[in-house]
C-alpha cells in the first residue's frame, strides 16, 4: 500500500508492506519503482526488548573519543524534533547484504525475531539478536516513538500503526517514492501509481483517525 502525508511544507508518499511479508521481489519493486531509502520500522516495545538505541545516541556515546560526532547531532531537523534512525543491520546468513534477496532475508528474519522478542524474558532476545545479526549492515532500522501516533506522526509511526492494527508483527518496511524530477513523488502521481498497480492509497490523517478508534476504550 501507499501512505501519503504532508506537514504543510513537504509532501511524501511511502510504499509500505508488513516486514514479515517482505520478499526479494518486493525489495526490487521498492528499489526500482519507489527509489528512496528502504527501511524497517520497529515499535518501542520491540526496541526495548532488543536493547536497541537510536543512532544519535550511538554517535553521542562515541563523542568522547570522536568529538566530531557531538558536533553532528541532528538538533536542527527542519521536519522533526528527533530522528527516528536506529542502527543498520544484516542477517548473518547473507553475503554483502545489499542484494534484494539479502535485504529480504534480513527484514523477514528481523520480523520473526521481533515477534519472539515480545514474548521473551531474561534477555534472551538481545542474545539471539547478536547471534543472528551483525552491524553495520544494509537494512536501516527506524525506531517508532512510544505510543506510536500519540506523540509523533511521521511515516515511521504511521506504517507501524498500520501493521499493529492488522494484528501483525509491529514492523513495517517502507520506502519513500521519488519522482523523475528528483523530488518526492507528488500526491497526484502517487495516486495514479496506486491505481495502476491496484494498491491501496491512504492519507496519513486516515491512519491517525483509524488508530484513535483502534485505541479507544
Catalytic positions = 14, 39, 79, 90, 138, 176
| DSSP state, residue 116 | H
For residue 114 the three cell numbers come to 521481533
The Cα-based distances of 71 to 16, 60, 87, 186 in angstroms read 33, 9, 19, 34
The β-bridge relationship of strands 201-203 and 2-6 is: parallel
Q: How many CA atoms lie within 13 A of 76 on its CB side?
A: 3
- Rounded-to-integer distance, Cα 188 and Cα 209, Å: 22
- Rounded-to-integer distance, Cα 128 and Cα 126, Å: 5
The β-bridge relationship of strands 172-176 and 39-42 is: antiparallel
Amino acid at each position: 500500500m501507499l501512505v501519503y502525508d504532508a506537514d504543510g511544507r513537504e509532501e511524501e508518499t511511502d510504499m509500505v508492506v508488513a516486514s514479515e511479508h517482505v520478499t526479494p521481489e518486493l525489495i526490487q519493486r521498492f528499489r526500482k519503482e519507489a527509489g528512496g531509502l528502504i527501511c524497517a520500522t520497529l515499535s518501542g516495545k520491540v526496541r526495548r526488548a532488543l536493547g536497541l538505541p537510536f543512532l544519535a545516541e550511538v554517535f553521542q556515546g562515541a563523542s568522547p573519543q570522536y568529538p566530531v560526532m557531538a558536533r553532528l547531532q541532528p538538533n536542527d531537523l527542519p521536519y522533526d524534533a528527533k530522528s527516528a534512525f536506529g542502527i543498520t543491520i544484516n542477517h548473518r546468513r547473507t553475503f554483502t547484504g545489499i542484494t534484494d534477496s539479502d535485504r529480504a532475508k534480513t527484514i523477514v528474519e528481523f520480523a520473526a525475531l521481533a515477534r519472539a522478542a515480545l514474548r521473551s524474558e531474561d534477555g534472551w532476545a538481545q542474545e539471539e539478536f547478536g547471534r543472528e545479526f551483525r552491524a553495520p549492515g544494509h537494512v536501516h532500522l527506524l525506531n517508532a516513538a512510544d505510543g506510536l501516533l500519540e506523540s509523533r506522526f511521521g511515516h515511521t509511526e504511521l506504517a507501524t500503526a498500520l501493521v499493529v492494527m492488522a494484528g501483525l508483527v509491529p514492523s513495517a518496511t517502507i520506502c519513500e517514492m521519488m519522482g523523475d524530477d528528483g523530488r518526492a513523488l507528488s500526491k497526484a502521481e502517487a495516486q495514479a501509481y496506486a491505481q495502476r498497480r491496484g494498491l491501496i492509497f491512504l492519507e496519513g490523517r486516515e491512519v491517525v483517525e483509524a488508530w484513535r478508534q483502534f485505541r479507544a476504550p
